[in-house]
């Protein structure tokens, strides 16, 4: 990645594939969208990339790096259509995935169904290999034992094998030797050890991470191969980087070995970009709202830092890798509107996807979607959708929604519009309920936050959701529809390392803690050094998981990035006491403190990308036209403005429509819109100020 050459960010969505190119020579950002190809996402990437080169008059040699975010691995796990996986475990642990944590998925849902194991029991093989908690070898397989295991693997004919030895986190080299001795006699089968992916105590979760990695690795390898070949066909020689779930990026070699780290790469990149935009706009606390074609995701960011989590549910299965804390809350623009057997209108979870898409696309879709609702009530202009590249058929959308109206018992000349408005209200109510639950579990009040929407439908639905949540501020980025791709361009290299310790905090264990921090940071430096051409500086994020003796749950504390010799027992203890008191209201200074694990995040900072400045120059809003919009119970004659002509400082009172690149922003009654110098739109409830 040459810092003086153009950098391209790519995000593959269910409906569109988004592109953003940063051109440092011109200090310019260019965005582009291309319809996704669900059967082979790499085709849309290559086709869209070729279009981007042509529209910017860019030669292949002017591309310095391509950063790609994808949820292909995530979809494979959710749909259970990954590779055929065999699992190798220590003797006596064949049921590790079946047993799991032995608790109900939900303590309040007595009808909850536990997810089936990622690897079925008949594909689990036991081996006489075991370590103790300190990493000492208690049992090692003989040559005959290894041959038996190879024979069983051949009989199962898996695409990949995950290996988990009891207490393997304490001696990763033991698992790696086992993998080597097996893989050298089984060509064509990919292997991964649990300790090489995430060496943390907790056998079930560690095993599951390895199984997820093994399940998607062959699929991702083939995808990366097609991607590399397609990029080469365009004569582009720039390196390919992959966005990761922690909001950073890794080189292709790391992504091939650890594809499980890419599961939430697209959504995480969007939150990264949103956090930076929020800081520049003076919004300290934001709820990000990514509404795409199939779903809506939210996250929380404060002071420019997204909230991270070390436990995420993927299709009902726990993932313990560090990720940006993104949660799905409801429908997307392609979510299908239907009436259930009880005559109640529902929105989702089924989506029309890129094909056939909304009814208005004219591609054979019969079920109306959220996008069809926007169109029928007049929010969307049928001739300007997708920058005018895709004309929408209002009559098809209205006919489909008229069927919904009939099923609901609605009649009259406004029946279709009333059904559309009702569907949007239902979708919004579902989002609001999920968002309230998400914030309340964190002790947060939505009125204290700014809503920052992006994605193809985020700006369109933002005012509806803000109204539902009684939020007073909405901040809409200028290129909101391609923000996840912009986040890929913004991202630094990042990788997380962990080591389980399990010791009582005292003078002796402090030496062990310092040594552990040093070793993990040294490993991080080695990894970053692979990309030393592009990394301008390196920093570390240090976290220690601790608990009071006798407690069952860990609490993460953050340690400063200073020389490890400056860290002493008293300082670490006070950090934990202060954090515990802030969360739970008390501290126990006399209780022993237990260190459970050390986490190090290594960040290789690349050349920063400047945020775009607003292009508009007008001091007063310039009317682009008017159109009829159905709001609540009737039609309104609403002014329409072109965002490109609006400069900083303009104010528009709702109801109004503002059309910007690839998205439409409705300003509801009781709201007003203002612009800032970065080209963002601010929606403010009546009586509120930007401050």
Tens-place pLDDT, residues 492-528: 999 999 999 999 999 999 999 999 999 999 999 999 9
pLDDT at 463 over 60: yes
Q: Residue 105 — pLDDT band, cuts 50, 70, 90?
A: low
pLDDT at 279 over 70: yes
Check if the beta carbon of residue 595 is closer than 8 Å to that of residue 200.
no
- How many angstroms separate the CA atoms of 5 and 28, rounded? 12
**Strands (E) located in 322-405:** 323-324, 327-330, 335-339, 345-351
User: In 3D, which of 478, 665, 600, 495 has the Cα closest to residue 30?
Assistant: 478
Q: Is 520 helix (H, G, I), strand (E, B) or coil?
A: helix
Q: Residue 360 — pLDDT band, cuts 50, 70, 90?
A: very high
- How many angstroms separate the CA atoms of 556 and 496, rounded? 15
- How many angstroms separate the CA atoms of 328 and 434, rounded? 8
Q: Residue 111 — pLDDT band, cuts 50, 70, 90?
A: confident
Ramachandran category for residue 45: left, alpha or beta (phi over 0 → left; psi -120 to 50 → alpha):
alpha
- Report the pLDDT value the prediction gives residue 104, as an integer from 0 to 100: 67
pLDDT at 691 over 90: no
Q: Could you report the per-residue pLDDT of 622-681, keeping only the tens digit for each?
A: 788 999 999 987 999 999 999 888 888 788 999 999 998 788 999 999 999 998 888 899
User: Which of 37-46, 101-110, 490-499, 609-618 has the weakest average pLDDT?
Assistant: 609-618
Q: Residue 283 — pLDDT band, cuts 50, 70, 90?
A: very high
Tell which wins on pLDDT, 459 or 16: 459
Check if the beta carbon of residue 160 is closer than 8 Å to that of residue 217.
yes
Please give the C-alpha separations between residue 303 and each of 288, 306, 542, 612, in angstroms, as whole numbers.
13, 8, 18, 20
- Report the pLDDT value the prediction gives residue 617, as an integer from 0 to 100: 54
Phi, psi of 424 (to 5 degrees): -65, -40
Q: Where are the alpha helices (DSSP H) in 60-160?
A: 72-78, 96-99, 143-156
Q: What is the DSSP secondary-structure string of 386-442?
A: GGGTS---HHHHHHHHHHHHHHHT--STTHHHHHHHHHHHHHHHHHHHHHHHHHHTT
Q: State mean pLDDT over 394-416.
A: 96
Between the CA atoms of 527, 532, 537 and 539, what dihedral angle is there, to the nearest 10 degrees? 0
Check if the beta carbon of residue 543 is closer than 8 Å to that of residue 595.
no
Sign of the dihedral through C-alpha 173, 175, 178, 180: negative
Check if the beta carbon of residue 275 is closer than 8 Å to that of residue 611.
no
- How many angstroms separate the CA atoms of 665 and 686, rounded? 17
Q: Which domains does the chain have, with CATH numbers?
A: 80-217 (3.40.50), 335-426 (no CATH), 493-605 (3.30.1490), 623-685 (no CATH)
Neighbours of 592 (CB within 10 A): 12
pLDDT at 480 over 60: yes
- How many angstroms separate the CA atoms of 394 and 378, rounded? 9
Sign of the dihedral through C-alpha 369, 371, 374, 377: negative
- How many angstroms separate the CA atoms of 627 and 618, rounded? 22
- How many angstroms separate the CA atoms of 540 and 561, rounded? 6
CB within 8 A of 469, min separation 6: which ones?
432, 435, 436, 446, 447, 451
pLDDT at 69 over 90: yes
Check if the beta carbon of residue 340 is closer than 8 Å to that of residue 593.
no
Task: Tell me whether the omega of the peptide bond preceding residue 655 falls within 30 degrees of 0, making it cis.
Answer: yes
pLDDT at 299 over 70: yes
Q: Where are the alpha helices (DSSP H) in 564-689?
A: 569-584
pTM above 0.85, yes or no: yes
Q: Average pLDDT over the chain, rounded to whole?
A: 92
Tell which wins on pLDDT, 443 or 539: 539
Q: Could you report the per-residue pLDDT of 194-212, keeping only the tens digit for each?
A: 999 999 999 999 999 999 9
Between the CA atoms of 498, 499, 502 and 506, what dihedral angle is there, to the nearest 10 degrees? -90
Beta 240-243 vs 63-69: how paired, if at all? parallel
Q: Residue 122 — pLDDT band, cuts 50, 70, 90?
A: very high
Burial of 348 (0-12, 13-18, 19+ CB in 10 A): buried
């Amino acid at each position: 990645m040459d810092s003086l050459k153009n950098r391209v960010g790519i995000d593959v969505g269910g409906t569109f594939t988004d592109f953003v190119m940063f051109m440092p020579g011109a200090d310019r950002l260019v965005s582009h969208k291309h319809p996704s190809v669900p059967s082979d996402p790499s085709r849309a990437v290559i086709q869209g990339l070729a279009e981007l080169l042509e529209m910017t008059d860019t030669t292949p040699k002017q591309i310095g790096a391509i950063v790609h975010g994808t949820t292909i691995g995530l979809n494979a796990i959710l749909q259970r259509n990954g590779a055929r996986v065999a699992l190798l475990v220590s003797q006596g642990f064949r049921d590790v995935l079946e047993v799991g944590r032995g608790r109900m998925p939900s303590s309040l849902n007595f009808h909850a169904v536990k997810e089936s194991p990622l690897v079925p029991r008949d594909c689990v093989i036991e081996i006489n290999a075991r370590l103790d908690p300190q990493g000492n070898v208690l049992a090692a397989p003989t040559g005959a034992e290894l041959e038996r295991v190879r024979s069983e693997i051949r009989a199962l004919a898996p695409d990949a094998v995950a290996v988990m030895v009891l207490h393997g986190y304490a001696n990763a080299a033991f698992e790696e030797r086992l993998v080597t001795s097996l893989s050298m006699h089984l060509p064509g089968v990919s292997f991964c050890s649990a300790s090489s992916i995430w060496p943390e105590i907790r056998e079930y979760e560690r095993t599951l991470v390895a199984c997820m990695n093994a399940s998607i690795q062959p699929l991702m390898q083939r995808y990366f191969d097609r991607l590399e070949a397609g990029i080469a066909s365009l004569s582009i020689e720039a390196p390919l980087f992959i966005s990761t779930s922690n909001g950073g990026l890794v080189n292709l070699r790391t992504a091939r070995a650890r594809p499980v780290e890419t599961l939430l790469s697209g959504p995480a990149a969007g939150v990264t970009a949103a956090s930076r935009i929020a800081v520049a706009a003076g919004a300290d606390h934001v709820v990000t709202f990514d509404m795409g074609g199939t779903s809506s995701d939210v996250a929380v960011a404060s002071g420019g830092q997204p909230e991270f989590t070390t436990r995420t549910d993927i299709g009902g299965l726990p993932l313990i890798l560090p990720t940006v804390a993104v949660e799905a809350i409801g429908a997307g623009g392609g979510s299908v509107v239907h009436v259930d057997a009880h005559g109640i209108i529902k929105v989702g979870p089924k989506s029309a996807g890129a094909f056939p898409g909304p009814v208005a696309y004219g591609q054979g879709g019969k079920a109306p979607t959220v996008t069809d609702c926007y169109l029928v009530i007049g929010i969307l202009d049928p001739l300007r959708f997708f920058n005018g590249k895709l004309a929408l058929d209002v009559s098809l959308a209205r006919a489909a929604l008229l069927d919904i109206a009939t099923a609901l018992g609605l009649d009259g000349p406004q029946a279709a519009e009333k059904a559309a408005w009702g569907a949007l209200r239902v979708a919004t109510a579902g989002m609001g309920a999920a968002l309230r639950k998400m914030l309340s579990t964190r002790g947060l009040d939505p009125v204290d936050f700014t809503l920052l929407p992006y994605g193809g439908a985020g700006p369109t639905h933002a005012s509806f959701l803000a109204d539902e949540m009684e939020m007073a501020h909405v901040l809409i980025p200028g290129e909101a529809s391609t923000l996840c791709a912009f986040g890929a361009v913004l991202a630094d290299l990042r990788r997380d390392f962990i080591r389980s310790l399990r010791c009582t905090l005292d003078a002796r264990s402090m030496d062990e803690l310092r040594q552990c921090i040093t070793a993990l940071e040294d490993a991080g430096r080695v990894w970053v050094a692979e990309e030393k051409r592009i990394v301008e500086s390196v920093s570390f994020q240090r976290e220690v998981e601790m608990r009071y003796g006798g407690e069952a749950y860990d609490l993460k504390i953050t340690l400063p990035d200073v020389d490890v010799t400056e860290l002493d027992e008293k300082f670490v203890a006070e950090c934990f006491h202060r954090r515990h008191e802030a969360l739970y209201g008390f501290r126990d200074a006399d209780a022993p403190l237990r260190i459970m694990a050390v986490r190090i995040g290594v960040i290789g900072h690349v050349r920063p990308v400047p945020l775009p400045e607003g292009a508009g120059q007008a001091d007063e809003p310039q009317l682009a036209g008017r159109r009829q919009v159905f709001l609540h119970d009737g039609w309104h004659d609403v002014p329409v403005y072109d965002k490109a002509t609006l400069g900083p400082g303009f104010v528009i009172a709702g109801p109004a429509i503002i059309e910007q690149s690839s998205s439409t922003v409705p300003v509801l009654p009781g709201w007003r819109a203002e612009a800032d110098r970065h080209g963002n739109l601010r929606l403010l409830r009546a009586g509120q100020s930007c401050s």
